[in-house]
Amino acid sequence: MADLQIENLAKTFKGGFTALNGITLDVADREAVFLLGPSGAGKTTTLRLVAGLEEATAGRIMIGGRDVTRWTPRERNLAMVYDKHSLFPHLTVFENLAYPLRIRKMAESAIVRHISGVAETLQIEKLLERRPNELSGGQQQRVAIGRALVRDADVFLLDEPISHLDAQLRARMRVEFKRLQRDFRATMLYVSHDQLEAMTMADRIVLINKGRIEQIAAPQTLFDLPDTLFAATFIGEPPMNVIPATISDDSGYYRLRVGDAWIEVDRNWMAEGDPLRAGSEYLIGFRPQHLTLCEPETDHHCKVNGKLFAVETLGSRVVFDIDTAGHVIRAMTSVDAAQGHPSTIGAPVSFKIDPNFIYLFDKTTGRTVRQARFTQRQKAPAHA
């Protein structure tokens, strides 16, 4: 295996559309790095540039310390797995796996040895004499992965390889992918728009938006310490609530005005980082699981009032959509904790916001100007 370095990589297509705008990232040897972002962010373009299927407008691609920017795809010794299996329907599983080795004129005994080891790891050794149309979707995908693994490539490139599978099979394949990456000690660059895949499988996540890197970090760091408003709202399900908030400074006692309510915040938290301007409007963010429903008549700590907009029951969890000051806020709680709270649309609902779990964003730039206080126990995030 080998490491992968991308330096100031850019791609502009004919007609002037810029898909990538100078991204830089490193993938260490034997590391699994995920390119995560919405459709059109530039994820697949990055993968195709690394593979040599597209020519870079600017920048450099290094594999194992060698500049491969102008090399052909075959010279780069990469293996790709796509969302479609792309298996030869007229060949057996064994012949599908053997195809890339025969192209390289490997001896038959070595081919059998290579395939036997990979097939055992992938648990497809009993399928070697079958054809693709005799396999389930998950089995076909394992064969497609196996065809990449037998090549002993320097870097494996995966473009949403399990996105078309059903939810139960995707969950099983996530576990298998992580095991395979560990067993084969593979260097992987994996494209996904599914945050659950990235959060559960990646060593690090490269969050891309509109051809630029928003943040590079370990999954939990990205969730807890987002650098930008985009990172904060893209990661997390349900997504983070974000509404306008105005800062009030009353002789050193700071409060945030949220709608018609006030939230008192710690002065030390306000003093961290760049100075905040009293009277200025920012964006306040808080995750649905950090809100607590309450009864305003009996709980004087209730800070925000609203009306029930919708209720979603998700098995063990319930999500309350609450209309407050013209903004729909989502509060997520357990089924047990939801008991006794209104379920009729339009009914009054109150909730409290724990000041230890709020984020503050610059309304103009979208940069995070204050991280939630509960994250202070963590190390600083890794950046590009």
CA pair distance 45, 57, nearest whole angstrom: 12
Domain end call among 187, 202, 228? 228
Of 375, 376, 330, 377, the closest CA to residue 349 belongs to 330
Whether residue 308 sits in one domain with residue 162: no
148 found inside a domain: yes
Cβ-contact 358, 340 below 8 angstroms: no
**What is the count of structural domains for the chain?**
2
Under DSSP, is residue 88 helix (H, G, I), strand (E, B) or coil? coil
Using one digit for the tens of pLDDT, what is the confidence trace for 61-77? 999 999 999 999 989 98
Inform me whether the pLDDT recorded for 326 exceeds 70. Answer: yes
- Per-residue pLDDT at 56: 95
CATH number of the domain at 158, please: 3.40.50.300
Whether residue 182 sits in one domain with residue 249: no
Whether residue 251 sits in one domain with residue 190: no
Whether residue 272 sits in one domain with residue 213: no
Domain end call among 228, 252, 285? 228
71 found inside a domain: yes
Phi first, then psi: give them for residue 359, nearest 5 degrees. -115, 155
| pTM, full prediction | 0.87
- Per-residue pLDDT at 382: 45
384 found inside a domain: no
In the chain, the largest separation of any two C-alpha atoms, in whole Å, equals 82
Whether residue 336 sits in one domain with residue 207: no
**Residue 160: DSSP 8-state:** S
Phi first, then psi: give them for residue 23, nearest 5 degrees. -95, 145
Using one digit for the tens of pLDDT, what is the confidence trace for 211-230? 999 999 999 999 999 999 99
CA pair distance 264, 256, nearest whole angstrom: 6
Place 148 in a pLDDT band, splitting at 50, 70 and 90.
confident
What are the Cα distances from residue 189, in Å, to 198, 202, 368? 11, 9, 27
Whether residue 101 sits in one domain with residue 22: yes
Whether residue 61 sits in one domain with residue 182: yes
Whether cis (ω within 30° of 0) applies to the bond prior to 238 is yes
Inform me whether the pLDDT recorded for 177 exceeds 80. Answer: no
Residues 6 or more apart whose CB falls under 8 angstroms from that of 327 comprise 243, 259
- Per-residue pLDDT at 364: 92
State which residues form the domain around 309: 233-377
Q: Where are the beta strands (DSSP E) in 287-346?
A: 291-294, 304-314, 317-324, 327-334
193 found inside a domain: yes
Domain end call among 228, 258, 284? 228
What is the side-by-side order of every strand in the sheet holding 327-334? 291-294, 348-353, 304-314, 317-324, 327-334
- Per-residue pLDDT at 203: 94
**299's tokens:** 């709980």
CATH number of the domain at 359, please: 2.40.50.140
CA pair distance 254, 288, nearest whole angstrom: 24
Amino acid at position 76, single letter: R
383 found inside a domain: no
